[in-house]
């Protein structure tokens, strides 16, 4: 009795003092912040730190001394300025080895003894390349400049010390130490410490969508020991200074302290910090002091710039460029040696040859001259061409209508511009499950309480026939947000007209990407996190509804549950279960008419209930029972039945939620209650008794009189409260509650509780407003929140129970954790037996839920004695006020509290597969790609989802690896490997299937599927077991890793990528997938329900998993084929043309002379033959998109054939050598013995070379459109036009030769056309014949597919039947061989 009075008295003291302790209320005897000595903090802040003084405070000298080292708030993401652009851009471009090489050639050509061409001519290729890249860099930097200018010129209200008021200033003028005043929907300009909030509890709500993509609201708290409400914050009165850590990029941590003028220190933590780029929501006014500005803010510290990954094709290209360099050196050495031998054999000096020059020196000079002449062998233009082609490929990928999500108005984002070709080489895919394969749209499906399962059959049927309403976005759901739409919430007493433009300050990317992110953020702004109609419209289970009605019945049943009616203990479990669902979360409640529902300060029914309890205890009535043990018997005279009727206010037995009653403004609730009439003794009281079958019967007449005398004045108060409640219900039924949850699980559970009329209606820092069935609206005192983290895998709230007044811990979390923390109550054997039964039944139901593919969460509770709570609170307060090691101390404190839990029940939440996921996975497996699923869910859930998405088929053999020790793991891996080897390669090697092209289809055959849990995964990732695990996994068709952590995910990807040397792709949608996305060769983020962290870390971003199918099978196939063929074509045309000059050296004494003018030589590869390969690299299609989608095995042929590999490279080089021989010697023999000059001899060679190179591309092209023909014609016409104009007008353009009239003369002779035609035919004929012969005898899969497409339906059907019959001899293994625990069902799922 005295203890309850003490707790109430202490709570009133703390509330009256506005101590602002956040989630707790400290009892007497605990150290407070004000009691600390000036330097007696238990944990001092050590290490590098910064000091922040107010800019207009009393510490002006200190501010001026330290503020010089702090950056201003202006941001600059540009690389250059007008003055630095040219030198810095050139400096960066010359970091490329190719550019340095050609710069060396330009400088070398200025040496007279080795000069090959005019000095200006050799500079043209380098200048063109540098100019093109510089123009591209300038345009990108200019876009960044415009974006920076837009951000820096935003307006914010900053306090001015001279004017003693807040004035408008630009963001770039904000400095550290400034006081900033923000209103609803304004974007935070800098990292600032929250000093004031218009919220009476010192709470500020922010949205971090611009920072991490999450749209759910997050709470921030005013610094402790600063008044929360009353007079608005005055900067003149701020005499404190701040000590905090130096700027860093950790978004989730902030450490420091604020020291007041009285030398008292207050700890500062992350929930006191407002980060730049976040948006103020549902809060009228906030004031903060800037601690980090500009590039020192955490948002800008996370700016790592654009992503860059080197593709596998680019790595292969670099190797072949080195081979080209080696080939160039060999050719130059040949020329040098040949020139030396020629000089040695020269008996009489000739023109331009010095007689005194030794053969060795002459050979040395010629070596460098040949380097200049044959420079085209190194494809400098290839690097620029590849960049242009990739931009074109990305343009078509981003504008593919099939990859556009119309409902979300989002398209694919290509964030890494240089790895498009890697999409065509993927061999392993590592996929997250939740939100990637599934919708991440959690819907309550069923539950188990007190060991009794409630199947919710009607709810299951609702989910089966559910279809999204018109306008409802799959994966998202419409809700209301302040300042966003016509239906948006408006902040009270404030005009929210400020723009909520997304300021993407993390990376200065292209305008398209910023627009894409901005539009996505705006789409998300108009939608609430996890609040779809499917999640909200939960159909209650009739059996559970009937039991809940007993809570509102006039008398609590005395049955033990054997007669069919619920026992008292079961009802207690049910009430606690749904109360936990409603309050064990961080959900923010709002509605269209009120941006945020809070708990009013007025007197609540809870306090009246406590008064009634005290009165009942005074008359020796039985107190409310404690839940872990069996409650004492309660008769119809029990106070429980009385309070149940009392707080139903004429609505007993109904489930109509009520709002908290409030008294008239300025009225004293106690006085109002005492001044009202005598309802209990009046006919009105009889009416209540008539409505309830079992009225309050007091056996002792004297006690009954005392009760009536005591309660008489409360009668009319209850009548008045009933009227207020009815009006509140009328007002609130029109306003639909909107829940802003941090995760879809939270939202699903809150909606489930609401379906059973246990409704969360409001939230404040220290109280929750909850509707309980049969009781009404109660204010639950919230003492602490222990948030969820990936280590504990659970979340807890510490509350004071609204009915019993006890301190209760409600916990929800993963079943693997909660089941271990649950313990049987000490004492009665009956209670221990009951606990074992409940635990056994609950575990059985959990296993059933997992087999059905449901996500499971366990619900538990723990009642704390006041002394036990005080002991824990001291340690919790110590952890909360600590500056260093705060996270570790809080973790230890939470783990100490969450022990010896009482298991209440568990929930099963359905997370439906995304559309076309099974078809996508089947297509990927047919394409020869191995799909691994890395998930944190339990094993049964992951296996069921694998069955549903056709990753695991009924005829597959399941291998399970769950080990408790490293030795057991090693033995199991050996055993499984032997079993796989015994099964034979026929399980894992894909036999032929019914593909149109006759290729193998691995996705339709039996295979081994390895399932491994997180604990075993730790063992196999160790050095000793890596090889065994990889060998086993290579023989398996798929691997499913369960209970895996984010670190384990990245380690698995790294292991497979580096050890097997395969191309990997990781795909996920949440922050826990970021590490594996960054480790994989290709990272893909899904813009799903869990924010944009995965997208911001990815190379490509898609909105649905099904888009991965076309992205890889079509665009990946095309991109790789195009770039590979284009690179080979570049090497071919360079080798072919350069060798023409090399063969000429044998007839000019290896002097470095050429048979063409230098302008044509330089421009031949730079202009005349440069555009056709670009069109080829962007538009060529070796197969139609529909064909590639229908026949995924065509993707696999790219792994086996390898268009671009060492063999194809050297074959291309040899082909270039052959064609150059033909192109040179056919004109040589045609003009042998004539008096033709060197330029006249070179004219048919150049023309033939151009025709051969262009027609060679026509032969290699799979697609010829009008654009291809136009470009080819333009290339030929540009060459002819140039040489003709050059021949007519140029006299001294190419000394010492004179090209005047050469081309006009050649074009007038029939021999010229004969030579060109014959040369072209002889050069290309072998390639044409080889292609025809090879395609006839060994046609490729793509060619056979294209031939099938041209056949009629009947002929196609006949060929396919013949092909299937020829390959039907392949034996299939029996279903579930050596795995009796895995049986196929009629639906294709597994029953274990």
Active site residues: 432
Straight-line distance from the first to the last Cα atom of the chain, in angstroms, rounded to the nearest whole number: 55
**221 close to 202: Cβ distance less than 8 angstroms:** yes
Q: DSSP of 795-843, one letter per residue?
A: EEEEEE-TTT--EEEEEEE-HHHHHHHB-PPSS-HHHHHHHHHHHHHHH
Closest CA to 1363 of 1071, 995, 1028, 1084: 995
DSSP H or E segment with residue 1041: strand 1038-1041
User: Before 1272, cis peptide (omega within 30)?
Assistant: no
The length of the chain is: 1392
Are 222 and 228 spatial neighbours (Cβ–Cβ below 8 Å)?
yes
Q: What is the distance between the alpha carbons of residues 835 and 814, in angstroms, rounded to a whole number?
A: 19
Q: Pairing state of beta strands 1082-1086 and 1064-1068? A: parallel
Gap between the Cα atoms of 956 and 1390, Å rounded: 10
| Alpha carbon distance 593, 487 (integer Å) | 10
1102: which strand partners?
1086
Task: Give Cα separations from 1234 to 1245, 1249, 1297, 1298, 1315 (angstroms).
Answer: 16, 22, 19, 19, 14
The two three-digit tokens of residue 40, written as one number: 């007696």
Total Cβ atoms within 10 A of residue 1264: 12
Query: Do 1383 and 1390 form a contact (C-beta atoms < 8 A)?
Result: yes
DSSP helix/strand/coil, 1099: coil
Provide the token pair at 858: 């366990």
**Exposure on the CB side of residue 876, measured as CA atoms within 13 A:** 23
**Beta strand ranges found along 47-131 (DSSP E):** 49-52
1163-1194 as b/e: b if 16+ CB within 10 A: bbbbbbbbbbbbbbbbbbbbbebebbbebbbb
Token pair of 332 as six digits: 């130059």
- Short-list 1212, 1117, 1130, CA closest to 1176: 1130
Helical ranges in 1073-1116 per DSSP H: 1074-1079, 1093-1096, 1107-1110
CA distance linking residue 382 with residue 1134, whole number of Å: 10
Distance from C-alpha of 542 to C-alpha of 55, rounded to nearest angstrom: 65
Q: How far apart are CA 945 and CA 942, in angstroms?
A: 5
Q: Which among 1070, 926, 881 is positioned nearest to 433, based on CA atoms?
A: 1070
For residues 408 and 1092, the answer to whether their CB atoms sit within 8 Å is no
Q: Which helix (H) or strand (E) holds 1174?
A: helix 1171-1179
What are 258's strand-pairing partners? Answer: 242, 266
- Contact assessment for residue 929 and residue 426, using Cβ atoms and an 8 Å cutoff: yes
- CB-hemisphere CA count at 13 Å for 195? 27
How large is the greatest C-alpha to C-alpha distance in the chain, in angstroms? 147
Whose tokens are 């976040």? That residue is 278
DSSP 548-567: HHGGGSSS-----STTSSPP
């Amino acid at each position: 009795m005295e203890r309850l009075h003490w707790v109430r008295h202490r709570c009133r003291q703390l509330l009256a003092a506005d101590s602002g302790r956040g989630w707790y209320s400290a009892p007497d005897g605990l150290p407070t912040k004000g009691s600390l000595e000036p330097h007696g903090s238990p944990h001092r802040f050590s290490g590098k730190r910064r000091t922040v003084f107010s800019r207009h405070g009393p510490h002006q000298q200190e501010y001026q001394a330290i503020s010089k080292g702090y950056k201003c708030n202006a941001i600059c993401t540009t690389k250059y300025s007008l003055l630095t652009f040219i030198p810095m851009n050139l400096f960066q471009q010359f970091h490329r080895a190719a550019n340095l090489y050609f710069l060396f050639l330009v400088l070398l050509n200025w040496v007279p003894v080795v000069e090959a061409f005019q000095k200006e001519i050799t500079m043209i290729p380098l200048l063109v390349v540098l100019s093109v890249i510089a123009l591209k860099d300038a345009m990108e930097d200019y876009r960044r400049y415009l974006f920076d200018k837009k951000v820096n010129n935003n307006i914010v209200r900053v306090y001015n010390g001279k004017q003693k008021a807040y004035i408008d200033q630009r963001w770039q003028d904000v400095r550290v130490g400034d006081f900033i005043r923000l209103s609803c929907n304004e974007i935070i300009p800098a990292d600032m410490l929250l000093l004031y909030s218009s919220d009476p509890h010192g709470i500020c709500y922010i949205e971090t969508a611009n920072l991490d993509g999450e749209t759910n609201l997050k709470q921030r708290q005013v610094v402790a020991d600063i008044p929360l409400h009353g007079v608005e914050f005055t900067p003149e009165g701020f005499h404190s200074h701040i000590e905090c850590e130096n700027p860093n990029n950790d978004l989730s941590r902030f450490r420091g302290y604020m020291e007041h003028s009285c030398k008292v220190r207050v700890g500062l933590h992350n929930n006191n910090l407002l980060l730049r780029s976040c948006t103020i929501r549902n809060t009228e006014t906030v004031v903060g002091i800037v601690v980090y500005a500009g590039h020192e803010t955490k948002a800008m510290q996370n700016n790592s710039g654009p992503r860059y990954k080197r593709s596998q094709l680019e790595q292969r290209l670099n190797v072949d460029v080195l081979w080209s360099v080696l080939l160039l050196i060999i050719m130059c050495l040949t020329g040098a040696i040949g020139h030396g031998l020629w000089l040695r054999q020269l008996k009489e000096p000739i023109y331009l040859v010095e007689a005194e020059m030794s053969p060795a020196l002459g050979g040395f000079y010629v070596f460098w001259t040949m380097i200049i002449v044959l420079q085209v062998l190194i494809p400098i233009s290839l690097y620029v061409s590849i960049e242009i082609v990739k931009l074109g490929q990305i343009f078509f990928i981003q504008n593919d209508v099939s990859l556009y999500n119309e409902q979300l108005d989002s398209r694919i984002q290509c964030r890494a511009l240089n790895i498009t070709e890697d999409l065509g080489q993927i061999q392993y895919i590592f996929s997250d499950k939740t939100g990637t394969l599934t919708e991440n749209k959690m819907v309550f499906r069923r539950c188990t309480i007190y060991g009794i399962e409630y199947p919710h059959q009607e709810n299951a049927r609702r989910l089966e026939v559910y279809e999204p309403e018109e306008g409802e976005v799959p994966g998202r759901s419409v809700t209301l947000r302040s300042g966003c739409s016509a239906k948006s919430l408006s902040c009270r007493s404030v005009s929210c007209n400020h723009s909520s433009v997304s300021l993407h300050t993390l990376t200065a990317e292209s305008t398209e990407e910023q627009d894409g992110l901005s539009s996505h953020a705006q789409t998300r702004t108009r939608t609430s996190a996890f609040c779809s109609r499917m999640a909200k419209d939960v159909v209650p289970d009739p059996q559970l509804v009937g039991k809940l009605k007993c809570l509102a019945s006039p008398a609590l049943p005395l049955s033990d549950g054997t007669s069919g009616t619920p026992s008292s203990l079961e009802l207690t479990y049910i009430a606690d279960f749904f109360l936990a669902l409603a309050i064990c979360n961080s959900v923010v409640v709002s509605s269209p008419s009120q941006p945020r529902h809070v708990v009013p300060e007025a007197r609540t029914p809870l306090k009246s209930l406590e008064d009634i309890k005290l009165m009942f205890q005074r008359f020796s009535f039985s107190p409310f029972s404690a839940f872990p043990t069996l409650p004492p018997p309660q008769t119809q005279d029990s106070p429980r039945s009385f309070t149940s009727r009392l707080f139903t206010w004429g609505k007993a037995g109904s489930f109509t939620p009520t709002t908290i009653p409030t008294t008239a403004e300025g009225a004293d609730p106690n006085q109002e209650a005492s001044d009202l009439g005598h309802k209990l003794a009046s006919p009105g009281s009889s009416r209540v008794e008539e409505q309830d079958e079992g009225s309050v019967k007091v056996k002792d007449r004297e006690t009954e009189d005392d009760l009536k005398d005591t309660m008489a004045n409360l009668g009319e108060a209850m009548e008045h409260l009933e009227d207020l409640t009815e009006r509140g219900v009328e007002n609130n039924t029109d306003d639909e509650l909107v829940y802003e949850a941090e995760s879809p699980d939270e939202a699903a559970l809150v909606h489930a509780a609401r379906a059973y009329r246990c409704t969360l209606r409001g939230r404040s820092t220290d109280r929750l407003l909850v509707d309980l069935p049969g009781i009404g609206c109660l204010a639950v005192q919230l003492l602490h929140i222990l948030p969820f983290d990936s280590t504990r895998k659970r979340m807890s709230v510490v509350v004071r129970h609204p009915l019993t007044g006890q301190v209760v811990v409600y916990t929800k979390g993963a079943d693997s954790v909660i089941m271990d923390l649950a313990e049987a109550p000490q004492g009665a054997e009956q209670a221990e037996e009951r606990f074992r039964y409940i635990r056994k039944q609950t575990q059985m139901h959990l296993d059933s839920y997992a087999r059905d593919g449901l996500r499971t969460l366990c619900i538990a509770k723990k009642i704390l004695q006041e002394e036990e709570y005080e002991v824990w609170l001291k340690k919790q307060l110590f952890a909360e006020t600590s500056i260093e090691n705060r996270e570790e101390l809080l973790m230890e404190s939470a783990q100490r509290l969450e022990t010896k839990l009482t298991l209440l029940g568990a929930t099963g939440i359905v997370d439906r597969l995304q559309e076309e996921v099974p078809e996508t996975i089947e297509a990927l497996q047919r394409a020869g790609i191995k799909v691994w699923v890395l998930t944190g869910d339990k094993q049964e859930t992951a296996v069921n989802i694998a069955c549903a998405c056709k990753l695991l088929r009924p005829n597959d053999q399941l291998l399970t690896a769950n080990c408790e020790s490293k030795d057991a793991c090693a033995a199991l891996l050996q055993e499984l490997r032997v079993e796989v080897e015994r099964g034979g390669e026929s399980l894992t090697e894909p036999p032929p299937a019914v593909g149109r092209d006759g290729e193998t289809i691995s996705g339709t055959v039996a295979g081994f599927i390895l399932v491994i849990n997180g604990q075993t995964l730790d063992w196999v990732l160790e050095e000793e077991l890596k090889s065994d695990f990889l060998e086993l996994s290579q023989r398996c068709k798929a691997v499913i890793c369960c209970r895996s952590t984010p670190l384990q995910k990245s380690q698995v990807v790294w292991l497979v990528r580096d050890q097997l040397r395969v191309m990997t792709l990781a795909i996920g949608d949440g922050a826990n997938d970021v590490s594996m996305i960054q480790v994989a060769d290709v990272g893909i983020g899904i813009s799903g329900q869990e924010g944009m962290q995965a997208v911001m870390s990815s190379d490509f971003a898609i909105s649905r998993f099904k888009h991965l199918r076309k992205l890889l099978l079509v665009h990946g196939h095309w991109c790789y084929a195009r770039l590979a063929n284009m690179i080979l074509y570049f090497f071919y045309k360079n080798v072919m043309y350069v060798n023409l000059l090399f063969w000429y050296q044998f007839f000019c004494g290896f002097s470095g002379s050429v048979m063409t003018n230098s302008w044509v030589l330089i421009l031949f590869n730079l202009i005349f033959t440069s555009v056709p390969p670009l069109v080829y690299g962007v538009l060529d299609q070796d197969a139609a998109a529909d064909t590639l989608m229908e026949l995924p095995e065509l993707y696999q042929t790219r792994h086996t054939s390898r268009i671009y590999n060492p063999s194809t490279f050297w074959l291309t080089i040899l082909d270039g050598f052959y064609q150059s021989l033909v192109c040179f010697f056919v004109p040589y023999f045609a003009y042998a013995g004539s008096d033709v000059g060197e330029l006249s001899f070179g004219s048919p060679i150049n023309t033939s070379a151009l025709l051969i190179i262009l027609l060679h591309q026509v032969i290699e092209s799979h697609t010829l459109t009008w654009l291809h023909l136009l470009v080819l014609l333009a290339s030929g016409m540009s060459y002819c036009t140039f040489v003709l104009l050059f021949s007519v007008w140029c006299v001294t353009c190419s000394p010492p030769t004179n090209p005047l009239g050469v081309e006009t003369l050649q074009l007038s002779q029939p021999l010229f056309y004969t030579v060109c035609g014959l040369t072209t035919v002889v050069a290309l004929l072998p390639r044409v014949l080889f292609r025809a012969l090879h395609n006839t005898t060994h046609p490729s899969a793509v060619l056979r597919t294209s031939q099938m497409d041209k056949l009629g339906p009947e002929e196609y059907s006949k060929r396919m039947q013949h092909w299937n019959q020829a390959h039907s001899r392949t034996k299939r293994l029996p279903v579930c061989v050596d795995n009796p625990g895995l049986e196929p069902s009629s639906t294709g799922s597994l029953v274990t």
